[in-house]
Amino acid sequence: MIKMDTLNLFELLKQVISSWQVIVITIALVLYLNIVFYVSRKHHRPRAIHKLSVKKKKSKPEETETFEDENISSDDDELGLEEE
């Protein structure tokens, strides 16, 4: 049985990756994928715009309650209650 150390393994990988067959196939696959994605973008159907789903939200003016005087005396009591 042949034992392969890491140095021999890296040398073999270098030879495989740098071979002309692997380089040609890699370039062909990259070009093919670029063409496929280009064609799919060009023939993509535009989305239908639904007028019902696109609604502009109207901004309501902010309503804030302001009290002129926070300390309400018993004379201004709306319920007519008096303190004893």
Domain range annotation of the chain? 19-46
Q: Which carries the bigger pLDDT value, residue 67 or residue 35?
A: 35
Task: Work out the pLDDT band at 16, boundaries 50, 70, 90.
Answer: very high
Task: Work out the pLDDT band at 1, boundaries 50, 70, 90.
Answer: low
For residue 48, what pLDDT is reported?
A: 72
DSSP secondary structure letter of residue 75: G
Q: How far apart are CA 69 and CA 67, in angstroms?
A: 5
One-letter identity of residue 71: N
pLDDT one-digit tens code per residue, 73-83: 555 556 666 66
Contacts of 22 (CB under 8 A, 6+ apart): 16
- The reported pTM is 0.46
Q: Are 37 and 43 in contact (CB under 8 A)?
A: no
Q: How far apart are CA 70 and CA 82, in angstroms?
A: 18
